[in-house]
Chains A and B, each alone.
Chain A
Amino acid sequence: MRLGSVIRWEFLRAVRSKQYLFMSVFIPVIAAAAIIVASSQDRSAAQSLSGPPPAFVVALILAMILFMGAFLNGVMALYGVVKEKQSRVVELVLSSISARQMMAGKVIGLGIAGLIQVAAWVAVTYAVASRFTTISLEALTLVHWVTYPLYFALGYLLIASIYAATGATMKDVQSGGVGGLVGFVAYVPIMFAALIIENPNHVLVRIASFFPPFTPSVMLLRLGTAHVPAWEVALSLAALGAGVVVTMRIAARVFELGLLMYGKAPSTRELWKWVRARRPR
């Protein structure tokens, strides 16, 4: 019940923030514009703004949108924790609930806000794009409808828990955290998006699908452009799930220990010591 209160609180704070409103409008406008441009690309100028966008464009934009959602809400978790630490709210919160409950409530509450936001982005993008192009969702099969939310949710949990833990080790928003770099790994595949779209079943791409930080973005891109064997989808989800469990455990530990450390941010070596240290309870 108290976890529910934390989730509700974090959710409401997120959706009432200005960033949330801004991003809700900004992202779909950009995404729709990208689809419109892509649709007109290989047509004559006279026919512009009419044809359907290529399937890979839809896949890429969906992947970007999902990732943007995971990233933005992860960053919100980070800022939230740093602010709570700076304003010393954290002490009062921890005298009421455990650090684990606090982190879980934050990650889930912001996650729900993120999910709603992403759904809105997709809907608005589709609505705008369909006015100017002949975009259709026929290319999306049941596999997409089932797996995309899963990749988003798991990818979000992975990123948000890393960011929440990073926030707990930071003194203020200016000071960097090691976790930020770890979180960045998840965006690497987006930089290689063009290559992945061209060679969705290349052996390296297939291997990358099973490396948890890469899984969500790589799989979103592959599923959008090629047929992926069911066992690969299942295995990638299992790998991602396992990665989420491990990451969340480590993140919870760092979160717990980092929260009450004021003063200097811990070094990478200290962090490693925390992660390995036996839980006192």
Chain B
Amino acid sequence: MPAPVLEVRSITKQFESVRAVGDVSFEVQRGEILGYLGPNGAGKTTSIRMILGIFQPDAGEISIHIGEHSGRLLKERTGYLPEERGLYSDATVLDALVYFAELKGLSRAEARPLVLQWLGRFDLHEWANKKVERLSKGMQQKVQFIAAVAHKPDLLVLDEPFSGLDPVHQDLLKDVIRELRDGGAAIMLSAHQMNQVEELCDRIFLIDRGRRVLYGTLDEIKAQDGEHVVRLRFDGSAESLSALPGVKDLAIDGDRASLRLERGAGPDAFVRSLPATLAIREITVTRPPLHDIFVRTVGRESHEAR
């Protein structure tokens, strides 16, 4: 396996008495999207800022491997969409974007066509010479995204890229993110919409209270979680289902029911134990959605901490 583009080893950051990030390690490969998840205040932004060299970790190591380069951060090969959006509001869209590309080491002549191309892609070409402050929030969001990607970064960090976008533009952005991944970028994506994360991300890192709680591919995480979600339509009475081994959270609504199977109570055993009195018309057994795992894991963590 080639060296990962981003390699984070045991980084720690302390602010006064608060340990914002403790002993966090992960990596992001070329052509991969890592979902970097966590509740508010879990230490996501702090770790992202360390990765981008905005501030230094107290301990641990962050190394970058791009082509022949191996070692310290290459700011010019990195793209960043911050959670707190900000652009020069009194500058024109084109000027601001060319300037940010220049800060990444491009010449003005190189930057201009790239920026214009991206503005076209996002339907903003008519706004190129308008001031940033005149743009709607969604448009500014797209401009901010262009600032992160115009210089073709090898490592791209996207913090909440979907917030403030309508569904059409969310889909457009998803397509673009997939293209960038297919083009070889290593992408770290932080988002609160778990369905988007499930659609896009190859692997997941879940951070809570500054520590790693889950890390792996979606399948691994779901297998590790071990629970299953069952949905069914039936004739007769489904009340008896709650007595079956491993069944919890049974919810019945007319001729529909949903329930969860505890870890260890596999779908196989469940299906075999279904009572003959219940006529099943439809049934699906799936791994739980990431959303449920997130809520359960983070909820449990905060419960245990008390």
Contacts and interface: CB of A to CB of B under 8 A. Distances in A.
Q: Do A and B come from one complex?
A: yes
Given A92-B82, A92-B100, A94-B52, 4 more contacts: A88-B86, A92-B86, A94-B53, A95-B78
- Main secondary structure on chain A at its contact with chain B? helix
Interface string A233-261: 00000000000000000000000000010
B87 A89 contact: yes
Contacts of B102: 2, 5, 9
Range of interface residues on B (Cβ < 8 Å): 20 to 34
B244 to A, nearest CB: 53
A3 to B, nearest CB: 10
B85 A88 contact: yes
Given A1-B105, A2-B105, A281 B56 contact: yes
A280 B12 CA distance: 13
A95 B53 CA distance: 7
B276 to A, nearest CB: 63
Range of interface residues on A (Cβ < 8 Å): 20 to 34
A13 interface: yes
B105 A87 contact: no
A90 B103 contact: no
11 contacts: A9-B102, A13-B88, A87-B88, A88-B85, A94-B52, A95-B78, A96-B75, A260-B49, A260-B55, A280-B55, A280-B56
Given A95-B75, A260-B49, A87 B99 contact: no
Nearest to B58: A280
Interface in B39-79: 49, 52-56, 75-76, 78
Contact of A95 (B52, B87, B88, B99): B52
Given A87-B86, A92-B86, A260 B103 contact: no
Contacts of A9: 99, 102
Interface of A: 1-2, 5-6, 9, 13, 84, 87-97, 260, 280-281
A93 B103 CA distance: 8
Contacts of B80: 91-92, 95
A85 to B, nearest CB: 9
B147 interface: yes
A89 B53 contact: no
A9 B103 CA distance: 10
Contacts of A96: 75-76, 100, 103-104
B56 A260 contact: no
Q: Give me the 9 closest cross-chain CB pairs, A-B, nearest first.
A: A88-B86, A96-B103, A5-B102, A280-B56, A95-B80, A88-B84, A89-B86, A95-B52, A87-B86
